[in-house]
Amino acid sequence: MNTSYSQPTLRHNQVLIWLCVLSFFSVLNEMVLNVSLPDIANDFNKLPASANWVNTAFMLTFSIGTALYGKLSDQLSIKKLLLFGITVNCFGSIIGFVGHSFFPILIFARFIQGTGAAAFPALVMVVVARYIPKENRGKAFGLIGSLVAMGEGVGPAIGGVIAHCFHWSYLLLIPTVTIITVPFLIKLLKKEERLRGHFDMAGIILMSAGIVFFMLFTTSYSISFLMISILTFLIFVKHIRGAQEPFIDPALGKNVLFMIGVLCGGLIFGTVAGFVSMVPYMMKDVYHLSTAAIGSGIIFPGTMSVIIFGYIGGVLVDRKGSLYVLTIGIALMSSSFLIAAFFIDATPWLMTIVFVFVFGGLSFTKTVISTIVASSLKQKEAGAGMSLLNFTSFLSEGTGIAIVGGLLSIRLLDRRMLPIDVDHSAYLYSNMLLLFVGIIAISWLVTLIVYKRLRRND
């Protein structure tokens, strides 16, 4: 009797261990190269608009792939999809490391890495739901969430130290560690039969093309790319309205509160991601800090604060309500950006404090956006709606990185706009911080007005 109980328990624990490894490294792969973007730009003599594609390329396929794997999990074996993702991720890592001296190969490798790594967040939760007993799922989700937060936190520090002591190209090899999970997952995960179902490949292609052309527009600001992107999205909208099983359910577009939560949340998440990608350039240009100092001293404390603020935000939402916590989160981010804009050349360690409160505000905001979106959905819409929120969040981060890279390159904001006496090299970054304040303030105001109006009508 003891044996029959202990064997399944041991199996569940082993599955959870390897899922944690995958979750940790998938997030680490997002953050680890961020601090090296200025070094990459210098090595290839590229502007930030091009260099930021090292992260944008990953986030692009990562976001689309997350939605894609989620759809495929209903039709194909989870085991095969997960192993495929691990293999592709490692393959992209090796290609990137071997060909890191050629910029097109580096970008191509990041596309491949994102395609493989997307399987982890999309499928790990499905595996937990299928393999972990119901009474232990809460602990499992909590453990995985903590490791994801830890991966976001230590990623910049690890990236900065390795890039400073060795070379940024070695960071590309970090995801290959996930290959150790393959033999264990083959043994532990059950064989599943293939399920029948329709897959909207045309919808995926149209949506992906629209996103790619829009990101190309943010890099080069060529109107032709923007026009192609708009045309492709219009065709995509027409397609999903008539498709039998569309990639994105058009009925969700009629849910006003859901759409406001997704769109305004996306603007905020994209703004913070753009800020994070801008900081290494700013620290190099204004303070001439090393890559290791930027990763460990500037970014690391802020990213680790997510763990604490995330818990506080969850407690406050239950006690004070969503709008209260959202307002605090926006206030933390806005005030931090404003302080950084006005005192940008005071001391580099001011940016460490700014990072802590920006990520603290982001934690509050993420908690609220998830709560608002979830509460706006009917039970039958919950799965598709939350998947779309995750997809939009990842995509917004990639878009934010691309847009900030483009703005840093065309230097449209490289002029004195604030009554501050700073070095000319700081003007651009100070004005960018003001732009960030405007975007998140407008997003907050729109969410507040719509949320209150809809609640008043209910």
* More confident site: 171 or 150: 171
The token pair that represents 294 in the structure block: 């930027």
Q: Mapping DSSP to helix (H, G, I), strand (E, B) and coil, where does residue 250 land?
A: helix
**Contacts by residues 389-394 (CB-CB < 8 Å, ≥ 24 positions apart):** 389/261, 389/262, 389/265, 390/66, 390/67, 390/121, 391/63, 391/64, 391/66, 391/67, 392/262, 392/263, 392/265, 392/266, 393/265, 393/266, 393/269, 394/59, 394/62, 394/63, 394/66
d(CA 305, CA 295): 15
Average pLDDT of the segment spanning 364-372: 81
Average pLDDT of the segment spanning 445-454: 81
- Cβ-proximal residues to 412 (8 Å cutoff; 6+ apart), any chain: none
List helix spans (H) across 243-347: 256-282, 291-293, 300-320, 322-342
d(CA 194, CA 186): 17
> How many other CB atoms are there within 10 angstroms of residue 94's CB atom?
15
Q: Which of 7-11, 59-63, 433-437 has the lowest mean pLDDT?
A: 7-11
- Looking at residue 4, its pLDDT comes to 38
- What pTM value is reported for the model? 0.84
Q: What band does 72 get if pLDDT is binned at 50, 70 and 90?
A: confident
Portion of the chain with pLDDT greater than 90, in percent = 19
Q: What band does 112 get if pLDDT is binned at 50, 70 and 90?
A: very high
Contact 339, 358 (CB under 8 A): no
- Looking at residue 97, its pLDDT comes to 94
Q: Which residue has the tokens 């199996």?
A: 11
- Looking at residue 231, its pLDDT comes to 95
pLDDT digits (tens, 9 = 90+) for 118-165: 888 778 777 776 777 766 666 676 667 667 767 777 788 888 888 888
pLDDT digits (tens, 9 = 90+) for 407-434: 888 777 777 777 676 676 788 898 899 9
pLDDT at 9 over 50: yes
- Looking at residue 433, its pLDDT comes to 92
Contact 60, 177 (CB under 8 A): no
Contact 441, 332 (CB under 8 A): no
* More confident site: 195 or 311: 311
Q: What band does 379 get if pLDDT is binned at 50, 70 and 90?
A: low
Query: Which of 4-13, 153-162, 310-319 holds the top average pLDDT?
Result: 153-162
Average pLDDT of the segment spanning 13-26: 78
- Looking at residue 455, its pLDDT comes to 67
- Looking at residue 216, its pLDDT comes to 85
- Looking at residue 316, its pLDDT comes to 80
pLDDT at 1 over 60: no
Task: Give the closest residue to 170 by CA, choosing from 290, 39, 42.
Answer: 39
pLDDT at 195 over 60: no
Average pLDDT of the segment spanning 269-288: 90
**Which domains are delineated in the chain?**
1-51+77-197 (1.20.1250.20), 249-458 (1.20.1250.20)
- Looking at residue 436, its pLDDT comes to 94
Average pLDDT of the segment spanning 252-263: 83
- Looking at residue 138, its pLDDT comes to 63
- Looking at residue 207, its pLDDT comes to 86
pLDDT digits (tens, 9 = 90+) for 202-235: 888 888 888 888 888 887 788 999 899 999 989 9
Provide the angle, in degrees to the nearest 10, between the axes of the packed helices 300-320 and 322-342: 150
* More confident site: 451 or 109: 109
- Looking at residue 6, its pLDDT comes to 44
pLDDT digits (tens, 9 = 90+) for 319-340: 887 788 888 999 999 999 999 9
